A and B are shown apart, each in its own frame.
Chain A
């Protein structure tokens, strides 16, 4: 059986770990702290797949029925 990537599943949107600089500009744009973002667990299958660690922020590019594409951010927690 070939290993398949969870990210290929049609229900799973694109996840990527954010770089420090990009994160800063996003937090600045909304003027919030990292802790105020929605959360994702570190044991989440997708987190394991992309190798996100606690404290990272994951950028999720959702396909949205209303907006076409929407960005969402989740802080990786325990």
Chain B
């Protein structure tokens, strides 16, 4: 006779198991239909199994993680600059990307954003191609090259900008706005040419060749519209939804736009996630980026190893790199730091400061040839001398 769901619940609710395991367990038990006696036996066996599969105290998890990520890492492509399936946007992949992640670079070599669009009602951005397209132009940085030809008139000491009407229309920008932007950004006189359509004339503050040439260069850097640094926006339809992919990343700015689903929009720039969304989001992002990079190369690394790495990188409330300037560089022991990189500098500095190494870690004990405090090396036999026991008994009696 099988037992009811309520009984199962009450039997498993106090077990010290992760919720995933409990859920699978419960579903299976309900499917199979077991009796109370069987249930008790199953629980006993599961607890035994769980104890066996737990990591043991004093186990060197860090070394295991390092090997488990490092070994597949040797099979990764050394140089990859791929089109990552996402509409012709360049994304660094393979080993360079993995190195970038664990080094916690401030800016990745190919920053990229995935902008999800709001989809609360059927007319919302995510289902509307026109709206999405328009939003894409709002976000993409428009420079003068995109909408005009620039000619330098040396005899008249001025720059002549011929705007293309079609291009302007597409990007939803007009001649007044262009003039406005140049006025704001550059200290020059900007005039809309009265006789010729769609022409702007810019002359430098003081008429010299140097100024003019400088100006000719600097107008190319003015962002007329959109977000600085977003070089390109690509619209893609995934299932029912339109999604934007951008070359370049500016999470905080993108959040200001209407129609952007702020809960699902994300970037591959981990440092930016840390600044905008906090350290826990950065941790999740490290895990996601690292697993994606490995999976894309056809390598499977257990997620627990990557979780350990990302926990270590974020445990001090900020994203720290694994390396000389991060985790390894902040170790308390002089020997441990010297064993990693720039040995002489560390030893010299420590010598000048008169640092003391307490030989508590693994590396330093290996260097001096002592048993390390890991595995069986961390187990100590504590015994009391006969006199001590007698003294304790004596005091108890009193």
Take A10-B263, A38-B315, A67-B18 as given contacts and tell me if A62 and B276 are in contact as well, using a CB distance cutoff of 8 Å: no
Q: Which chain A residues lie closer than 8 Å to B383 at the CB level?
A: none
Q: Which chain A residues lie closer than 8 Å to B314 at the CB level?
A: 38
Cβ of B60 under 8 Å from chain A: no
Cβ of A31 under 8 Å from chain B: no
Set B23, B263, B266, B315: member contacting A39, Cβ < 8 A: B315
Q: Which chain B residues lie closer than 8 Å to A15 at the CB level?
A: 280
Cβ of A8 under 8 Å from chain B: yes
Q: Are B303 and A65 in contact (CB under 8 A)?
A: yes
Number of interface residues of A (CB under 8 A): 29
Set A1, A9, A13: member contacting B256, Cβ < 8 A: A1
Q: Which chain B residues lie closer than 8 Å to A66 at the CB level?
A: 18, 20, 303-304, 307
Q: List CB contacts (< 8 Å) of B288-345 with chain A.
A: 288, 303-304, 307, 311, 314-318
Closest to B312 in A: A38
Q: Are A11 and B262 in contact (CB under 8 A)?
A: no
User: Given the complex of chains A and B, what is the CA–CA distance between A11 and B263 in angstroms?
Assistant: 8
Contact with A along B15-38 (1 / 0, CB 8 A): 000111111000000000000000
Q: Are B317 and A68 in contact (CB under 8 A)?
A: no
Take A11-B266, A66-B304, A68-B23 as given contacts and tell me if A41 and B18 are in contact as well, using a CB distance cutoff of 8 Å: no
Take A65-B303, A67-B18, A67-B20 as given contacts and tell me if A41 and B284 are in contact as well, using a CB distance cutoff of 8 Å: no
Set B18, B275, B281: member contacting A11, Cβ < 8 A: B281
Set B19, B255, B284: member contacting A68, Cβ < 8 A: B19
Q: List CB contacts (< 8 Å) of A34-56 with chain B.
A: 38-41, 44-47
Take A12-B280, A67-B19 as given contacts and tell me if A41 and B317 are in contact as well, using a CB distance cutoff of 8 Å: yes
